[in-house]
Amino acid sequence: MTQTDVQAQTASLAAAGVRMLIIGPPGSGKGTQAARISERLGIVAISTGDIFRANVKERTPLGIEAKSYMDAGDFVPDSVTNNMVRERLAQADVAGGFLLDGYPRTTAQVEELDAILAAGSTSLDLVLQLTADHEELVRRLLSRAAEEGRTDDNESVIRHRLDLYTQQTSAVVKEYAGRGILVEVDGIGAIDEVTDRVMAAMARVIERQA
For residue 70, name the pLDDT band (cuts at 50, 70, 90).
confident
Q: In the predicted model, what is the mean pLDDT of residues 90-119?
A: 93
pLDDT digits (tens, 9 = 90+) for 187-196: 999 999 999 9
Residue 104 in marked binding region: yes
* CA gap 21, 45 in Å, rounded: 10
Pick from 44, 177, 175: nearest CA to 104: 175
To the nearest whole percent, how much of the chain has pLDDT over 70? Answer: 95
CATH value at residue 41: 3.40.50.300
- What is the pLDDT at residue 190? 93
User: Does 59 count as an annotated binding residue?
Assistant: no
Q: Is residue 210 scored above 70 in pLDDT?
A: no
**pLDDT digit string (tens) for 133-178?**
999 999 999 998 898 888 778 899 899 989 988 888 899 999 999 9
Which residues does residue 101 pair with via DSSP β-bridges, in sequence order? 22, 47
pLDDT at 14: 66
* Banded pLDDT at 6 (limits 50, 70, 90): low
Collect all residues with Cβ–Cβ distance below 8 Å to 53 and sequence separation of at least 6.
Answer: none
Active site residues: 30, 105, 144, 150, 161
Mean local confidence (pLDDT), 189-208 = 89
**What's the pLDDT score for residue 183?**
95
> Amino acid identity of 11?
A
Q: Quick one: pLDDT at residue 185?
A: 96
**Confidence at residue 195, expressed as pLDDT on a 0 to 100 scale:** 93
**Dmax (CA) of the chain:** 53
Per the structure, the count of domains in the chain is: 1
Neighbours of 186 (CB within 10 A): 15
76 is in an annotated binding site: yes
Distance CA(182)–CA(175), nearest Å, equals: 9
Establish whether 159 is an annotated binding residue: no
Q: Is 165 annotated as a binding residue?
A: no
Does 92 score more than 80 pLDDT?
yes
Instruction: Say if residue 30 carries a ligand binding annotation.
Output: yes
Which of the given ranges, 14-28, 62-76, 176-190, has the highest pLDDT on average? 176-190
pLDDT the model gives residue 15: 66
On whether 53 is known to bind a ligand per the annotation, the reply is yes
Q: Whole-angstrom Cα distance, residue 5 to residue 12? A: 11
Give the residue numbers spanning the domain of 201.
3-209
Name the pairing type of β-strands 98-101 and 44-47. parallel
Lowest mean pLDDT, pick from 14-18, 126-130, 159-163: 14-18
